[in-house]
Structure 1
Amino acid sequence: MPNRSPLAPGTGAAPPPAADASHGVAKLGVPLAAVAAVACVAQFMVVLDSSIVNVALPAMKAGLGLSASAQQWVVNGYLVAFGGLLLFAARAGDLFGRRRVFQIGLTVFSAASLAGGLAQDGWMLLAARVVQGAGAAALAPSSLSLITASHTEPGQRTRAMTWWGVAASSAGAAGIVIGGLLASVSWRWVMLVNVPISAGLLVASLTWLAPTATGQRRSRIDLPGALTVTLSAASLVYGVAAAPAAGWGAARVVAALAAGVLLLAAFVAVERRSGAPLVPLGIFSVANVRMGNVLTLCMGAVITAPLFFLSLYLQQALGQSAVRTGLSLLPMVAVISVGVLLSQKLIPVVGARRLVVIGGTVAAAGLVWVGQLPVRSDYLPHVLLPTVVVGAGTSVTMMPAIVASTAGIDPRDAGVASGLLNMCRQLGAALGLAVLATVAAGVTSHSGSGGTAAVVDGYRVAFYGLAVLALVTAALALRLKPAPDAPDAPAAPKPADAA
């Protein structure tokens, strides 16, 4: 049955039952669409929470008396915990069952959301955001590996991953819209909205996903590897996130970044000697896995940073409300969602490599257009049209990168592959925002325009920098290796004629 779990008995080619239990695929008779729906909603919620609080920060400041530094860490606390624990949680899902790790993540995420929504002091909200990030780290890789482990037929997998890509790509932008609407009622709903969603996902996972069998663990988790990579990722994300406010030369920023690099080197050394590595280094022997993760790193910045700067521009330069800002960016969200869906059909026609090249080039053109923003703009020519072009370009690059990052992976390593993908996206977004925010601030401080005009000068340079990064992405895509039957693959040599 094409729309049922491929592990149903009687198919003749099913993996052993232990694989079903330990890898968290659908229960017998449950449509694979149900697994995909659970995965997509979870991923949407995780990415949504990285942006939904942005427009609610002024209300949080007023309600809890947050300082400027505390406001920054409402966002960064989530990102540090999320980025730091991703690979550890991903490997735990591979070893101990994806359903189990997925449900633990849901429970932690829901409890932290409830605590944050009921917070009576600033430290309570900050602590809740860090714990939320830990729950998100368990959910993000599990959501993708649920799809890659259960959808074994290529067409099914591509369709499911397309919808997962739609959820991931649209959630960041949708967070601004939803956050603005919820914040207009109360900032607490920005946190509390996750509770019913998490509860529904938990019920669905208990109903539709196969339970984890006991005694089926392949090996113990690689604790030295888990410790070094977790601390490395957390240090790098912390250093990058703190840089815009503290300055790249600040002692704590330099120390965090140096520690992150040294711990990363230690992690590689540990993995080379481990009998059961957290990340099998052989996974990087697949060329498209390497390049797919690099592309995802770049696109994390190209997709996330424009929304951040546009939100600031619309609210600070034009004086729009949070709700109106979200609605102004809604067309871009719609275009991204449609574009990701369209990319599923374009990949077999155009080819993944060509599609990323085209998408990156279109996105670069749109970003240059956005970079022409005046101090006082008209919505149609200065915001709507260029953001639609940017959305169209970025939307058709994500699916090829996702497919490339997970192709050729042993199903037992699907969790760590998706963990790498999510980590690259998070690091790309954090690094891109930090670097460009620093550049924009520097341009503003040295601008002779003064006031709002100086701030807009900084935003323009940031958009031009993103355009360059989009072109770099397009150039890197030329190194993707197409499948032998792909439209952009080189023609196979013809056999020599018989004598």
Structure 2
Amino acid sequence: MTSTSTESQASGAPVSASATDDRLTARARLTLLLLCAAQFIIALDFSILSVALPVLGEDLGMGQADLQWAMTAFALPSGGFLLLFGRISDLFGRRLLFLAGLAAFTLASVLAAAAWDPASFLTARALQGLGAAAVVPTGMSLLTTTFPEGPQRNKALAVNGTVLSLGFTVGILLGGMMTDQLGWRSTMAMLAGAGAIVALVAPALLAESRPAERPRLDVPGAVTVTGGLLSVIYALSTAADQGFGEVEVIVALVLGLLLLAAFVAVEFRAAQPLVSLQMLRRPGVAFGNLGGLTTFSMMSSVIFLLTLYLQQVLGLSGFETSLVFGAQGVVLAVTGMVASRIVAAIGARATLVTGLAVQAAGTAALVFLPARGGVPLAVTALLLASVGHMSAVVSYGINATSGLTDHEQGLATGLVTSAQQIGITVGIPVLSALAAGRASALERTGEDVAAALRAGTRLGLGVDAALVMAAALAIAVGLRRARAAR
């Protein structure tokens, strides 16, 4: 997934007029729109079924305990194969794998829309996840190699981060509205149509891109990170249904952690690693990526947990739930437009720390959601958390790539991409497992289902807020010490 500072690219009109300002040519804007559209579609797929799960389960004959696999079947391959596909794209061409991933995602969405039983649907979801694992890293690599380092790349990354965050929210908004009006299959059909449009337009705008020197595939790194991520995500997703005490969960979790530890050891010794962990010795790189990993993973979890609360505790319909997240989408869009000005005014470090603190405060307020009449508190706290989240999204990449030489920028950008992608994949399984485990334990003691779910949701949100605040404090202290040591 990493890229070198020197890239080989097929002939085509340059998309940027200058690397010293943030003005973009018409072709640059179209290219950015295309790449962001692809990322937006993938982000939609992470959340668009959240509201539709009860209806989907009834239609396909899936039990309540099996519904989580509608999300997990997508999350497993999309998270597990990210880094591997990023390096494969360096070997065979980013444009080629980007288009192949889009095609696979689109065809899988058609299959999901036409699914006739649980097996066909879950197979389609897994294929969607594989397509997403190819599209996301190659799309980011194409973005960073298309736009030169400096104001143009900063602007492109900020726009991309904003679009990615909006995708989660819009996914729930569309999922609720479309499921109520047209049925859950319309959500998958919409993804197929959007994917087909992007796939048809992409060849005209994107030139092939790969590093000037063809890298070697880090086979030990690819095996350990892919196996580790698959095992951890599987363990956490299974724990959400069966609990952490099951042997299957414990074995998968321990195996995954051991493989990820092996991956770290391999990467520090590899001549051409999948991810340059050596860069994490730079405080700005390390703490900037910690901010990105935290804000993406924890905000996606808030959206997921709050969806469960609104529908299963308060009894809101899919459409009513979507209206709550529609308000969030407006706030995210507005904050994304002004966040760059905040960075210019107070600096990227202060913006990141403050953004995470505000996100933590908003999330903490959600812990007090009542059993009835909780919509006003839910909306207010969610909007506050969203302002902090988007501020962190815009600023973390700047922190993680500042103060580096030109030839280090590609490696640093690879880490930024990894933090973002892994964050959006692992957050929901982790927090939903905690919430579901708490709810299941209370149900076994005779607690009402809605009350147990509310308690589990509050636990998940409380842990979420604590992790975000801990990250904010760690980043503030770490970057201050690094600055003092210069």
Same fold, TM-score > 0.5, yes or no: yes
CA distance in 2 between partners of 1:25 and 1:439 (Å): 55
Give the SS at the match of 2:51: helix
Mapped partners of 2:372, 2:71: distance in 1: 29
Provide the rounded CA distance (Å) in 1 between the counterparts of 2:364 and 2:380. 12
Structure 1 contact 24–99 (Cα < 8 Å) conserved? no
Aligned counterpart, 1:10: none
State the alpha-carbon separation in 2 of the partners of residues 413 and 390 from structure 1. Answer: 27
Return the alpha-carbon distance in structure 2 between the equivalents of residues 210 and 30 of structure 1: 16
Change in CA separation of 1:89 and 1:416 when aligned onto 2, cut-off 3 Å:
farther
2:89 is the counterpart of 1:90:
no
Corresponding residue for 1:7? none
The offset of 1:389, in angstroms, is 1.4
Q: Distance in 2 between matches of 1:361 and 1:314?
A: 25
User: Quick one: which of 223, 235, 238 aligns to 1:239?
Assistant: 235
Aligned equivalent of 2:323, options 323, 327, 331? 327
Whether 2:247 is the aligned partner of 1:259: answer no
Q: Could you say which residue in structure 1 is the equivalent of 2:274?
A: 278
CA 1:199/1:453 → structure 2, altered by over 3 Å: closer, same or farther? closer
- Return the offset for 1:475: 0.6
Q: 1:427 deviation in Å?
A: 2.2
Aligned to 1:4: none
- Residue 360 (structure 1) shift: 2.3
Q: Which of residues 163, 170, 190 in structure 2 aligns to 1:167?
A: 163
What is the rounded CA distance, in whole Å, between the counterparts of 2:244 and 2:255 in structure 1? Answer: 15
Check if 1:368 corresponds to 2:359. no
Cα distance, 1:246 vs structure 2:
1.2
The aligned counterpart of 2:467 is 469
| CA distance in 2: counterparts of 1:272 and 1:389, whole angstroms | 40
Aligned to 1:6: none
2:99 is aligned with 1:125: no
Q: For 1:228 and 1:318, how far apart are their aligned partners in 2? A: 43
What's the counterpart of residue 397 of structure 1? 392
What letter is aligned with 2:450?
T
Is 400-409 or 165-174 further displaced after alignment?
A: 400-409
CA contact (8 A) 1:27 1:208 kept: no
How far did residue 364 of structure 1 move?
2.6
Aligned twin of 1:20: 9
* Corresponding residue to 1:295 among 268, 286, 291: 291
Matched, 1:196 2:193: yes
- The yes-or-no answer on 1:63 pairing with 2:70 is no
Q: Offset of 1:249 from its aligned partner?
A: 1.6
Between the aligned partners of 1:282 and 1:22, the Cα distance in structure 2 is 34
Distance 1:81 1:491, change over 3 A: closer
Partner of 2:20: none
Q: Any residues of structure 2 matched to 1:43-82 within 5 Å, and which?
A: 43-82=39-78
SS in 1 for 2:52: helix
Contact 2:48-2:187 at 8 Å conserved across structures: yes
Q: Which amino acid aligns with 1:56?
A: A
Paired residues of 1:23 and 1:99 also in contact (CA < 8 A): no
User: How big is the shift at 1:212?
Assistant: 5.0
Taking the aligned partners of 2:294 and 2:400, their CA distance within structure 1 comes to 14
SS in 2 for 1:119: coil
CA distance in 1, matches of 2:64, 2:452: 21
- Matched residue type, 2:164: A
CA–CA distance in structure 1, aligned partners of residues 8 and 421 of structure 2: 24
2:22 aligned residue: none
Query: Could you list the runs of 5+ residues in structure 1 that have no partner in the other structure?
Result: 1-14, 493-499
Q: Is the 8 A contact 1:87 1:416 kept in 2?
A: no
CA–CA separation in structure 2 for the residues paired with 1:276 and 1:109? 29
State the alpha-carbon separation in 2 of the partners of residues 490 and 25 from structure 1: 41
From 453, 461, 475, the equivalent of 1:455 is: 453
Would the aligned equivalents of 2:434 and 2:460 in 1 still touch at CA under 8 Å? Answer: no
Q: Distance in 2 between the 1:24 and 1:255 partners?
A: 53
1:148 aligns with 2:144: yes
The 1-side partners of 2:190 and 2:137 are apart by: 22
Counterparts of 1:457 and 1:413 in 2: how far apart (Å)? 40
TM-score by length of 2: 0.88
Q: Quote the Cα distance in structure 2 between the aligned partners of 1:400 and 1:231.
A: 31
Q: What is the deviation of 1:332? A: 1.5
Q: Deviations over 1:366-406 (max 9, x none)?
A: 223322222111633x2322222121222211122233345
What is the match of residue 383 of structure 1? 378
Supply the distance in 1 between the matched residues of 2:12 and 2:68 (Cα, whole angstroms). 37
Give 2:154's aligned residue: 158
Question: Which segment is superposed worse, 264-273 or 122-131?
Answer: 264-273
- CA change 1:318–1:160 in 2 (3 A) is same
CA RMSD of aligned residues (A): 3.0
Residues 324/88 of structure 1: CA separation in 2 closer, same or farther (3 Å cut): same
Q: In the alignment, is the contact (CA less than 8 A) between 2:77 and 2:126 conserved in 1?
A: yes
The aligned amino acid for 2:286 is: R
Amino acid at match of 1:304: S
Bigger shift: 307-316 or 359-368? 359-368
Shift of 1:308: 1.7
Q: 1:24 to 1:105 in 2, by over 3 A?
A: farther
The superposition leaves residues 101-124 of structure 1 with CA deviations (integer Å, 9 ceiling, x where unpaired) of: 211110111111111111112101
Q: What's the CA shift string for 1:285-312, capped at 9, x where partnerless?
A: 3332222232233223420122222211
Whole-Å Cα distance in 2 between the matches of residues 235 and 24 of structure 1?
44
Count of matched residue pairs: 470
Q: CA deviation at 1:216?
A: 6.1
Deviations, residues 35-60 of structure 1 (Å, cap 9, x unaligned): 21122111111111111111111222
> Aligned in 2, Cα 1:73/1:481: closer, same or farther, shift over 3 Å?
same
* Corresponding residue of 2:206: 209
Deviations 1:68-107 (A, max 9, x none): 3432111001001111001001122233322112111101
The residue aligned with 1:186 is: 183
Corresponding residue number in structure 2 for 1:8: none
The amino acid of 2:475's aligned partner reads A
Residues of 1 paired with 2:442 and 2:336: CA distance? 34
Residues in 2 aligned to 1:102 and 1:348: alpha-carbon distance in whole angstroms: 34
Provide closer, same or farther for how the CA distance between residues 326 and 194 of structure 1 changes in structure 2, counting only shifts above 3 A.
Answer: same
On the 8 A contact 1:317/1:452 being kept in 2, the answer is yes
Residues 352-374 of structure 1, C-alpha deviation per residue, up to 9 Å, x if partnerless?
22112222222232223322222
